């Protein structure tokens, strides 16, 4: 297994638990329904920058539990073909008005526009949690995975790490090398945000992976998206706190959220 000897550590649960120890990150609201296993209040409280990609502002505003809880949105960006006038008026009339940025470029998605804006404003690097990722239409989901890959070409994640968060799982990119992912932050299982289901999917080309901490661990195991073997529906062992992955090529790591575990053990 090829490796440069550097281990990349991941502690994504810190962002989802709403704790003060969470690193600085931007919360990006995409134009998908906001529901199921994600505690938006905790994400909102932990994030240092809150942005909506066009119609994502509509989704945020229409939450049944809204009542002003998420009124301090800072930026709405995109081609703005989906943003409702009433929603625009609401966010621009707050004590600290949201900044409205219209970009008409049809060669990039609203998701891509938002990520580019964040990266330009924070050249030293900032992690991004995109809420609503990998949801809705298949073609849009594939485009999000494509952009996740394209926005993280640097092997050291110098521009920041990008997480796609749906109502059922979190997905992020493991670059070639060794990775340790903290999947349980507390001894108390009730406080943990992640469930047991894990998938490791090659994105651009075949890879050979080695894992530790899963029910069905593999060693130097070849995986390929089209026509090869895939590691899906694996399980984190009950005693595992760190899942360890070595990969010869870039792969997606996806893990279920605890609140949706048990709905389907397939």
In a domain, 94, yes or no: yes
Residue-wise pLDDT for 166-204, tens only, equals: 888 999 999 999 999 999 876 665 568 999 999 999 988
In a domain, 2, yes or no: no
CA distance 38 to 29: 12
In a domain, 166, yes or no: yes
Beta bridge partners, 98, equal none
Residue 265 has pLDDT above 80, yes or no: no
Residue 113 has pLDDT above 90, yes or no: yes
Please say whether the beta carbons of 167 and 9 come within 8 A: no
In a domain, 1, yes or no: no
Domain of residue 135 covers 7-260
The number of distinct structural domains making up the chain is: 1
Residue 266 has pLDDT above 50, yes or no: no
pLDDT at 264: 41
Please say whether the beta carbons of 251 and 244 come within 8 A: no
Edge-to-edge strands of the sheet including 194-202? 99-102, 75-78, 49-53, 25-29, 127-131, 162-165, 169-174, 251-257, 194-202, 231-235
Q: Which CATH number characterizes residue 38's domain? A: 3.40.50.10240
In a domain, 118, yes or no: yes
In a domain, 266, yes or no: no
HSE-CB at 174 with a 13 A cutoff on CA atoms is 34
Mean pLDDT computed over 37-65: 86
Residue 129 has pLDDT above 80, yes or no: yes
Residue 216 has pLDDT above 60, yes or no: yes
CA distance 208 to 250: 10
Mean pLDDT computed over 76-83: 96
Beta bridge partners, 130, equal 28, 164
């Amino acid at each position: 297994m090829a490796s440069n000897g550097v281990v990349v550590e991941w502690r994504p649960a810190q962002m989802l638990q709403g704790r003060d120890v969470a690193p600085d990150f931007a919360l990006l609201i995409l134009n998908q329904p906001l529901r199921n296993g994600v505690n938006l209040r905790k994400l909102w409280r932990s994030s240092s920058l809150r942005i909506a990609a066009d119609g994502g502002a509509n989704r945020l505003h229409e939450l049944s539990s809204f009542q002003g809880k998420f009124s301090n949105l800072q930026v709405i960006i995109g081609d703005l073909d989906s943003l409702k006038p009433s929603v625009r008026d609401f966010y621009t009339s707050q004590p600290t008005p949201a900044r409205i940025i219209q970009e008409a470029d049809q060669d990039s998605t609203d998701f891509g526009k938002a990520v580019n804006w964040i990266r330009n404003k924070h050249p030293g690097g900032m992690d991004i949690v995109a809420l609503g990722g990998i949801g809705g239409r298949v073609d849009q989901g594939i485009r999000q995975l494509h952009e996740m890959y394209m926005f993280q070409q640097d092997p050291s994640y110098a521009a920041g790490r990008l997480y796609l968060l749906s109502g059922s799982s979190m997905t992020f990119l493991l670059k070639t090398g060794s990775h340790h992912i903290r999947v349980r932050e507390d001894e108390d299982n009730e406080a943990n945000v992640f469930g047991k289901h894990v998938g490791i999917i090659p994105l651009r080309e075949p890879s050979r992976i080695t894992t530790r901490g899963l029910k069905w661990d593999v060693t130097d195991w070849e995986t390929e998206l089209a026509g090869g073997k895939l590691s899906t529906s694996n399980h984190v062992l009950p005693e595992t706190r760190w899942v360890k992955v070595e990969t010869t090529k870039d792969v997606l790591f996806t893990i279920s959220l605890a609140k949706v575990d048990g709905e389907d053990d397939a």
